[in-house]
């Protein structure tokens, strides 16, 4: 069969399909390119940042090359000391050496001052350099010092990830626990998970009764009540956090009310904010709509006839509810829980403002390393671990509910 | 929902207890938002109800915190910033998002789930990670010798990226009920694709586009983490200014700003709700 102009039908169809494929793709392409450049590349860039370790190689390339010949037993040879003396003494390398000191200081505390002191004095030193170095600081006579430099030299490192999991490498390259006082991240990851689970459970407990009410009331009433759920959903996060500060602080509305009713006296005002309690209350309030909306949409599809049938067959109301109604709402509970959990695990603003010291979560630490300590690679490593967790949850969500079924408002 | 006549005393008790529980949860949801509104009219610089306020005396109330906003250069500047960044990022997000949603709704599109995944990724990734990644990347994009951090352009691009998933999702949802034969009908009547888009597709999907745009706008308008990382003093938005207010010099001016923001939320919510109902009605006709 051929078309009017003589081309075979098959070819014409293939051409038409290809053309419409291209047309569909061209519609999608601008946004795809935009998201790739403004969002996906930054994420990839951050992932690379978390394993990137160019500092030592950039600062002292010749020393690194010499160190590769060293077998790790005893002290390295004079050639290594000579190369390091030349490179440390080179004034034009100051910026690179500064970055390397910072990097090595993450591995072993005190490395920065060792390099600074050596850098100041080594310029005037003469051969043999080995003795000159050891005369400046006896740490240069310790093979461990050299092992640390050699271990940090490769361009790719997992040390930030180890650090993010409270591990480190000893000079021989074995993975060991961080000293006790530096172990904070695993605790914080666990705390973040516990808080997220806690918030999710609170949200289920609070959302279930009102979703049931919304789903069973006649539409004209339920639409009005739904506004009470949607208004918080649409209200700025900062506004809601501010109102919780107003309500919960020691001189705040709730404490005033309790004092006024005589339940507590004014000396014993309850501390409900700037601690974990404050974080939990505010986060539950902020995330509650994300639980109500999916639960409500699932419950709305459950026919009341099932309950009526159960009752007419002799089940008492409780049994009917638990055995017949609740199993049908499990998809809604699942969807809402995963959504709330994912949002809670990456929460930053609310814990930072109302969490105080013991309400801080892992995201607060990421922000701390980004803004204050400026250890961006560690922030990137912590972020990557968090991201991996969130993506795993989303994968689960997609399997259970389907991303396409995500509803807004 | 009504109590059946055959209900026993236990069921009767539970029926009323259940209503009390629901009322308590609704109260929990809405009270924190309502409580700040009267407090923003406090005559005293306190965050709680003064005795004068509780006695409903006129002396207990004043508009001084609202005057404070009008007279404060920083608040006015941050409001201007919020609207500039919000509106421009919404325009970018809505334009690109609507086109992409139309493309996504075509069955011929290859690798659809992959493309969808990329497009909604800004919504999936926790904000703190997006903000950190964008900050690192935008301070020297592709190693080029200029920075997009501390610029309006950088913030608008970042907020547009965060807003696009909402546009894509809402417009895609609207397109589910879209009758594709209308496009063919328009083509057989001689319209070129551009005319078809503006005269046939656009009017029908407009409610979805507008609600997507409102989602994108509120995303930018509310967003503080990216602003916190990327904005300089010059680009501070309202949420960033509120953050600084809570952290540094907490004054009831914040409550006045919060009240204004609640009013904006109510307006947006009402618009979205109207559009949703219109869309439901329209769909009722097509099917």
pLDDT confidence of residue B134: 95
Whether the bond between A92 and the residue before it is cis, its omega within 30 degrees of 0, is: no
**C-beta of residue A164 within 8 angstroms of C-beta of residue A185:** yes
Residue of A nearest to B217 (CA): A234
Task: Give the C-alpha separation, A277 to A247, whole Å.
Answer: 13
User: Considering only A295-299, B186-190, B279-283, which range has the smallest mean pLDDT?
Assistant: B279-283
Q: Is B30 exposed, middle or buried (0-12, 13-18, 19+ CB in 10 A)?
A: middle
Q: Final residue of a domain: which of A127, A152, A182?
A: A182
Question: Same structural domain for residues A158 and A17?
Answer: no
Note whether A236 and A308 are same-domain residues: yes
State the pLDDT confidence band at B111, using cuts at 50, 70 and 90.
confident
- pLDDT at residue A408 tops 50: no
Res. B100 pLDDT band, cuts 50 70 90: very high
Total domains present in chain A: 3
Question: Which of A234, A247, A370 is nearest residue B135 as measured by Cβ atoms?
Answer: A370
Better pLDDT: B189 or B275: B189
Distance CA B155, CA B152 (A): 5
C-alpha angle A139-A140-A144 in degrees, rounded to nearest 5? 70
User: Which residue in A30, A353, A363 is closest to B128 by CB distance?
Assistant: A363
Q: What is the CA radius of gyration of chain B?
A: 24
Q: Is residue A103 part of a domain?
A: yes
Tokens, residue A306: 């099932």
Mean pLDDT of A149-165: 89
Is the pLDDT assigned to residue A404 strictly greater than 80?
Answer: no
B28: nearest Cα among A288, A339, A245, A337: A288
Q: Give whichever of A285-294, A355-364, B43-52, B103-112 has the largest mean pLDDT.
A: A285-294
Q: Residue B130 has what pLDDT?
A: 95
A316 and A229 share a domain? Answer: yes
Question: Residue B155 and residue A393: Cα distance in Å, rounded?
Answer: 29
Same domain, yes or no: A11 and A74:
no
Average pLDDT, chain B: 88
In the predicted model, is pLDDT for residue B237 greater than 90? yes
Alpha helices (runs of H) in B177-252, residue ranges in sequence order: 181-188, 193-196, 202-222, 225-230, 238-247
User: Is A142 in the same domain as A216?
Assistant: no
Confidence of residue A409 (pLDDT cuts 50, 70, 90): very low
A239 contacts B262 by C-beta, under 8 angstroms:
yes
**Average pLDDT score, chain A:** 88
| C-alpha to C-alpha distance for B218 and B45, rounded to whole angstroms | 30
Residue with tokens 């204004």: B260
B2: confidence class by pLDDT, cuts 50, 70, 90: low
Quick check: is A50 in a domain?
no
Residues A350 and A283 both lie in one domain: yes
Residue A45 buriedness (CB in 10 A; 0-12 / 13-18 / 19+): buried
**CATH of span B73-250:** 1.10.3720.10
On whether residue A49 sits in a domain, the answer given is no
Which is higher by pLDDT, B287 or A146? A146
- Evaluate whether B122 touches B100 at the Cβ level (below 8 Å): no
Ordered alpha helix ranges (H), A165-236: 185-216, 219-234
> What number is the average pLDDT over the span B11-35?
92
CA dihedral A405, A409, B2, B7 (to 10 degrees): 60
Averaged pLDDT, A86-114: 87
- What tokens were used for B167? 């546009």
- A157 in a domain, yes or no? yes
Hey, are the CB atoms on A27 and B135 less than 8 Å from each other?
A: no
Smallest CA–CA separation between B37 and chain A, in Å? 10
Please state, for a pLDDT cut of 90, what percent of chain A lies above it.
Answer: 32
Rounded Cα gap, residues A155 and A377, in angstroms: 13
pLDDT-derived band at B246, boundaries 50, 70, 90: confident
Higher pLDDT, B128 or B275: B128
A217–B1 CB contact, under 8 Å = yes
Is the domain of A306 the same as that of A333?
Answer: yes
Mean pLDDT of B80-109: 93
In chain B, residues with a C-beta closer than 8 Å to the C-beta of A376 are 132, 136
Across residues A205-225, what is the average pLDDT?
91
Nearest chain A residue to B262, by CA: A235
B108 DSSP 8-state letter = T
Domain with residue A375: its CATH number is 1.10.3720.10
Task: Evaluate if residue B247 carries a pLDDT over 60.
Answer: yes
Given an 8 Å threshold on Cβ–Cβ distance, is B47 in contact with A245?
yes
Both A92 and A234 in a single domain?
Answer: no
With beta carbons less than 8 A apart as the criterion, state whether B186 and B200 touch. yes
Please give the pLDDT value at position A47. Answer: 93
Beta-bridged to residue A175, according to DSSP, are: A169
Q: Are residues A332 and A191 in the same domain?
A: yes
d(CA A13, CA A337): 47
Its domain, for residue A6, covers 1-44
Of the pLDDT bands very low, low, confident and very high (cuts 50, 70, 90), residue A313 is: very high
Which H or E element spans position A176?
A: strand A175-177
> What is the distance between the alpha carbons of residues A174 and B61, in angstroms, rounded to a whole number?
68
* Whether residue A168 has pLDDT greater than 70: yes
Q: How far is B180 from chain A (nearest CA, A)?
A: 14
The mean pLDDT value for A82-111 works out to 87
Buried b (16+ CB within 10 A) or exposed e, A239-266: bbbbbbbbbbbeebbbbbebeeeeeeee
Confidence check: pLDDT of A170 > 90: no
Every domain of chain B with CATH number 1.10.3720.10 lies at 73-250
What one-character DSSP code corresponds to residue B248?
T
Asked whether residue B286 carries a pLDDT value surpassing 50, the answer given is no
- % chain B with pLDDT above 70: 97
What's the pLDDT score for residue A370?
A: 92
**What residues pair up with A176 in beta bridges, in sequence order?**
A168
Q: What is the DSSP letter of B231?
A: -
Q: Does A42 touch chain B (CB under 8 A)?
A: yes
What CA–CA distance (Å, rounded) separates B78 from B238? 5
pLDDT surpasses 90 at B162: yes
Interface mutation target, options A25, A26, A35, A232, chain B, most CBs of B under 10 Å: A35
Residue A6 within any structural domain of the chain: yes
Dihedral, CA atoms, B75, B80, B81, B87, nearest 10 degrees? Answer: 140
User: Does residue A290 carry a pLDDT above 80?
Assistant: yes
B135 has a pLDDT exceeding 90: yes
- Residue A109 covered by a domain: yes
Contact yes or no for A10/B93 (Cβ under 8 A): no
Which pLDDT value is given to residue B79? 94
């Amino acid at each position: 069969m051929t078309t009017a102009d003589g081309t075979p039908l098959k070819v014409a169809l293939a051409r038409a399909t290809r053309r419409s494929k291209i047309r569909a793709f061209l519609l999608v392409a601008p946004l795809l390119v935009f998201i790739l450049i403004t969002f996906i590349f930054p994420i990839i860039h951050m992932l690379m940042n978390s394993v990137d370790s160019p500092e030592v190689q950039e600062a002292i390339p010749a020393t690194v090359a010499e160190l590769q010949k060293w077998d790790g037993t005893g002290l390295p040879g004079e050639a290594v000391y000579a190369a390091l003396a030349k490179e440390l003494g080179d004034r034009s390398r100051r910026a690179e050496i500064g970055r390397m000191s910072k990097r090595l200081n993450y591995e072993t505390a005190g490395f920065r001052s060792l390099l600074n002191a050596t850098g100041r004095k080594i310029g005037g030193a003469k051969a043999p350099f080995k003795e000159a170095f050891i005369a400046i600081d006896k740490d240069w006579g310790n093979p461990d010092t050299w092992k640390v430099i050699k271990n940090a030299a490769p361009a790719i490192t997992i040390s930030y990830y180890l650090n993010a999991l409270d591990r480190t490498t000893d000079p021989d390259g074995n993975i060991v626990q961080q000293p006790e006082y530096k172990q904070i991240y695993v605790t914080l990851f666990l705390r973040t998970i516990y808080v997220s689970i806690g918030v999710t459970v609170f949200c289920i407990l609070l959302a279930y009764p009102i979703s049931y009410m919304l789903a069973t009331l006649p539409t004209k009433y339920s639409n009005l009540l739904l506004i009470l759920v949607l208004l918080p959903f649409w209200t700025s996060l900062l506004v809601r956090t501010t109102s919780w500060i107003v309500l919960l602080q020691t001189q705040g509305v709730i404490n005033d009310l309790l004092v006024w009713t005589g339940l507590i006296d004014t000396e014993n005002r309850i501390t409900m904010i700037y601690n974990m309690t404050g974080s939990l209350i505010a986060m539950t309030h902020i995330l509650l709509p994300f639980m109500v909306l999916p639960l409500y949409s699932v419950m709305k599809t459950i026919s009341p006839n099932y309950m009526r049938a159960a009752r007419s067959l002799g089940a008492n109301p409780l049994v009917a509810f638990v055995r017949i109604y609740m199993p049908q709402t499990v998809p809604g509970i699942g969807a809402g829980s995963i959504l709330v959990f994912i949002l809670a695990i990456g929460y930053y603003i609310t814990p930072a403002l109302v969490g105080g010291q013991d309400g801080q979560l892992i995201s607060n630490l990421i922000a701390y390393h980004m803004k204050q300590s400026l250890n961006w690679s560690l922030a990137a490593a912590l972020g990557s671990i968090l991201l991996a967790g969130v993506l795993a949850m989303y994968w689960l969500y997609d399997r259970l509910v389907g991303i396409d079924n995500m509803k807004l408002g | 929902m009504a109590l059946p006549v055959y209900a026993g005393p236990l069921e009767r008790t539970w029926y009323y207890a259940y209503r009390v529980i629901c009322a308590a949860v609704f109260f929990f949801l809405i009270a924190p938002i309502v409580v700040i509104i009267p407090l923003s009219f406090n005559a005293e610089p306190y965050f709680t109800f003064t005795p004068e306020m509780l006695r409903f005396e006129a002396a207990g109330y004043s508009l001084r915190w609202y005057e404070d906003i009008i007279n404060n250069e920083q608040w006015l500047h941050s409001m201007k910033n919020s609207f500039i960044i919000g509106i421009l990022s919404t325009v970018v997000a809505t334009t690109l998002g609507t086109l992409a949603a139309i493309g996504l709704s075509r069955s011929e599109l290859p690798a659809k789930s992959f493309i969808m995944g990329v497009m909604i990724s800004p919504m999936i990734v926790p904000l703190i990670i997006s903000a950190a990644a964008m900050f690192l990347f935008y301070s020297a994009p592709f190693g080029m010798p200029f920075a997009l951090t501390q610029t309006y352009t950088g913030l608008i691009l970042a907020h547009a990226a965060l807003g696009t998933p909402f546009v894509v999702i809402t417009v895609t949802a609207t397109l589910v009920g879209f009758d594709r034969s209308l496009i063919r009908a328009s083509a057989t009547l001689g319209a070129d694709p551009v005319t078809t888009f503006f005269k046939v597709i656009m009017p029908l999907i407009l409610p979805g586009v507008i609600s997507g745009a409102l989602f994108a706008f509120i995303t930018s308008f509310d967003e503080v983490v990216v602003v916190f990382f990327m904005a300089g003093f010059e680009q501070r938005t309202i949420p960033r200014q509120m953050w600084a207010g809570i952290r540094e010099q907490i004054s009831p001016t914040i409550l006045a700003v919060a009240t204004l923001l609640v009013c904006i939320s109510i307006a947006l919510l009402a618009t979205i709700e109207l559009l949703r109902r219109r869309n439901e009605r329209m769909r009722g006709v097509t099917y």
